[in-house]
Amino acid sequence: MSDSHQTITYLDHGATSWPKPPGVQEALALAVSELGGSPGRGHYGLAMRTTRAVHSVRRGVARFLGVAADRQVLFQPGCTQALNLVLFGLLEEGDRVVATSVEHNAVARPLNVLGARGVEVDVLDTDSQGLLDIDDLEQALKRPAKVVVCQHAGNLSGAIQPIKEAARIAHDAGALLVVDGAQAGGHLEVDCSELGVDAWACSGHKGLLGPTGIAVLYLSKGCQPRELVVGGTGSASSELPTQPTELPERYEAGTPNTPGILGLGAAVDWLVENAVNHRERERLLTRRLHEGLLELGFRVIGPPVDAPRVPIVAATYAGLDAGRMAAALDREFGVAVRSGLHCAPWAHRTFGTLETGALRFGLGYGNDADDVDCALAACASLLGDLT
Amino acid sequence: MTSRQLRPFVVFGFSTTHDALDAESLLEDMGIDVVPIPAPAELGKLCGIGLRVEPDQADRAGIYLQRAEIVVVGRVNIEDF
């Protein structure tokens, strides 16, 4: 094994959060020790206690996301699956979809497949910070489109998109707004009702601080994609040969992921109590890191240091391979960061880094100023060795 | 050994587990004794959760459910233990 050294400084929260806040580990354990019944599939005490626990988490997540009708919050196996459900379920041959040029592969790849199936895919270039230009969207929607799909925050740039304005413009043009919220949930205050989004998907394990294998999908009443998966729901087996139409069952065929859901619930409970301080801490650390990288001579992708961003700072250094730098940071300093294309070739093409990739620092729960300073000192040391 | 006797109850049926849980939570909050049971065949459903209530609380329960806009797909009288 060549990776036996210890990670001291974890700065890859853009990929997944680690460690998890108090309560998550305990909830996972509870799910396999005491709440091991099958949710929605049985009336005996163990099953009902498990069913109620899942129901309670749905209510909590709905409140956290500003959703009044908690049945419109769906549990999915991942944000990618959730976005696949919405995009493949809404779009068919002859439809038109408008996307931005900074979408993650969770959106880009489904759109590429849909494009090959006869869906017209129009990709709008963002500005140099990675932000959707609302005027460009308005212009693009002078021709009818069924769906506008946009990230909430950039997984490369950290830029926060004007979602509320995009929803208004999309609706004025008769389109639905589908939002990839993977990098926004937990890091930003999200009120789906206030934003006016039609679909909003988010990983449970990134900024929401839950375990992997669980995601949240909000669907407005007007957004009813075809099901991607059909099957058992624990209900209506005697009456319906096909999938129930009621939410959440319609989109939750198969046995729910109880550990994932309960772990997510514990994480959201923690966020409800701590989000204000947590987000302020993230903001300060992100600025410290951003400024430090600029001082070292890095080019930072995305918005300038004074502009809002989620706690992601991706950077390049002229003439330096990001992959080698990431490996050296890990090997020599125990600093975990992500190089490569971050599953976002569209975004890297937009920022001119498709051929080089970038070094991405993702901050989050558990990080402190020492982590940032350690990473910056490590970068300085590596750069010093080169000169 | 205690002898058991069947006695009357009212069961409300719902189209989804989600509705049944909303109903259970609501009725408990309103002080009504609720027992989740397998949806009885009399409801035309052999899958899902029914909520069993005492007959003298059934009308009150129905009103609460209606006010909360929880859709009840059936109400039947049964005998149960």
Q: How many CB pairs under 8 A join A and B?
A: 53
Whether residue B36 and residue A55 make contact (CB cut-off 8 A), yes or no, is: no
Query: How does the average pLDDT of chain A come out, rounded?
Result: 96
Q: Which of A293, A264, A349 is nearest to A65 (CA)?
A: A264
Instruction: Name the residue facing A71 among B18, B44, B45 (closest C-beta).
Output: B18
Main-chain phi, psi angles of A96, to 5 degrees: -125, 140
pLDDT in tens, B44-73: 766 789 999 999 999 999 999 999 999 999
Q: Distances in Å between the alpha carbon of A353 and those of A55, A321, A341, A348, B71? A: 44, 11, 8, 5, 54
Q: Are B47 and A246 within 8 A, CB to CB? A: no
A260 closest CA partner among A202, A214, A219, A198: A214
Count of C-beta atoms within a 10 Å radius of residue A10 = 21
Task: Check pLDDT > 70 for residue A4.
Answer: no
How many Å apart are CA A27 and CA A387, to the nearest integer?
50
SS3 helix, strand, coil % of chain A, rounded to 5? Answer: 40, 15, 45
- Cβ pair B15:A246 closer than 8 A: yes
* Cα–Cα distance list, A232 to A216, A227, A229, A235, A299 (Å): 20, 13, 10, 8, 51
Nearest 5°: CA angle at B74, between B72 and B77? 125
**Three-class SS of residue B76?**
strand
Instruction: For residue A49, give the 3-state DSSP assignment.
Output: helix
pTM for the predicted model, two decimal places: 0.95
Which chain A residue has the Cα nearest residue B71?
A: A246
Q: What is the pLDDT of residue A148?
A: 98
Which of A2-6, A135-139, A166-170, B30-34 has the least mean pLDDT?
A2-6
- Do the Cβ atoms of A359 and A322 come closer than 8 Å? yes
| Interface contact A248-B18, CB threshold 8 A | yes
Enumerate residues 6+ apart whose C-beta is below 8 A from A267.
A20, A21, A23, A24, A186, A204, A208, A209, A210
* Dihedral angle, C-alpha A72, A70, A273, A203, nearest 10 °: -30
Measured between alpha carbons, how far is A283 from A57 in angstroms, rounded to an integer?
28
Distance of CA A329 to the CA centre of its chain: 25
Instruction: Select the more confidently predicted residue: B66 or A239.
Output: B66
Residue A202 predicted with pLDDT over 80: yes
Q: Is B28 on the interface with A (CB under 8 A)?
A: no
- Judged against a pLDDT cut of 60, whether residue A3 lies above it is answered with no
Going by pLDDT thresholds of 50, 70 and 90, the confidence category of residue B33 is: very high
**B39 or A113, greater pLDDT:** A113
d(CA B56, CA B9): 9
Known catalytic residues of A are 343
Is A237 near chain B, with CB under 8 Å? yes
Closest Cα in chain B, distance from residue A42 (Å): 8
Helix then strand then coil, in percent of chain B rounded to 5, is 35, 30, 35
